[in-house]
Amino acid sequence: MRNRIMLLLTVAFAALLAWNLKNILLGLPDEARQDAVYRILYFHAPAAMVGLTGFGVGMVFSGIYLATKNLYWDTLAASTTEVSLMFAAINLVTGSIWGRQQWGVWWAWDARLTSMLVCWLIFAGYLMLRRAIDEPDTRARLSAVVSLFGTVNAWFVYKVIEWFPRLQHPGPVLSFRTGGKIDRALETPFYWNVLALCLLAVVLVMIRMRQESLTREIDSLRRLAHA
């Protein structure tokens, strides 16, 4: 049943992405000042949304683990954080490419991109910590605390860097932030791409969960063989 849901979500993601790519690359006109490169926004911002939401969701799963001590929630938290880290990396790389084209440098220490880099480092530390602990219960307990601290800290980072005198990131463009300054034809594909990346995130988390459960099975078989 789970495999069937995964397959269905993968097909839905692939179809939606193909349709989005057709609309974004062929359907939309170039932007007056930025030319074609503005289309990177359709992946850059959704990746940040999915990544940051994923860190928050990972924290919730970590909290549930601490409350229930059920390792399933720890695995779910780790998988979600790992996938979110990948989306954060997509955000960083696409932002850097856009910066190179628009500002002439790969990295301008722009406030938003820097805050994402700091979040990336915090959660990369979370994954490194998991690798450094062998005992599953200790690993789950300690990494849950790091996830909690990391997410609270990510909020601080997000706000504080906004106040730092180095904000050169383009301002918000979506209508729910600006009150409808963007053309609907430009905005609609953005939301479809958010949905596509969300589907991808769910599929990847499901794959990671399956890998983890297989790893646990292999470990228990190994222990049985050595007993």
Partner 1 sequence: MSLFLRQSLTIAGKDLRAEWRTKEALNASLAFSMVILVLFSFALDPNPEMMQEFSGGLLWLVFLFAGALVLNRSFAREMQNDCLDALLASPVPPAALFIGKALANYALLMTLELVCLAEFGILFNVRWLANVGPLMIVMAVGTWALTVVGTLFSALTVNLRLREVMLPVLVYPMMVPPMMAAMILTTDLLAGTALGPGNMLWIRVLVGFDLVFTLLGVSFVDTVLVG
Q: Which residues bind partner 1 (CB under 8 A)?
A: 66, 118, 121-122, 125, 128-129, 132-133, 137-138, 141-142, 144-146, 148-150, 152-153, 156-157, 160-161, 163-164
Q: Which residues of 177-195 are buried (b: 16+ CB within 10 A; e: fewer)?
A: eeeeeeeeebeebbebbbe
**Nearest to partner 1 of 25, 160 (CB atom):** 160
Q: How far is the CB of 201 from partner 1 (least distance, A)?
A: 23
Q: How far is the CB of 172 from partner 1 (least distance, A)?
A: 22
d(CA 51, CA 204): 13
Secondary structure of 132-185 in HEC code, one letter for each residue: HCCCHHHHHHHHHHHHHHHHHHHHHHHHHHHHCCCCCCCCCCCHHHHCCCCCHH
**Nearest to partner 1 of 95, 150 (CB atom):** 150
Q: How far is the CB of 144 from partner 1 (least distance, A)?
A: 8
Six token digits for residue 73? 């929630």
Angle at alpha carbon of residue 194, lines to 191 and 198, rounded to 5°: 145
**Nearest to partner 1 of 157, 205 (CB atom):** 157
**Nearest to partner 1 of 72, 158 (CB atom):** 158
Q: How far is the CB of 6 from partner 1 (least distance, A)?
A: 33
> Helix or strand or coil: residue 34?
coil
Q: How far is the CB of 10 from partner 1 (least distance, A)?
A: 33
**Nearest to partner 1 of 157, 200 (CB atom):** 157
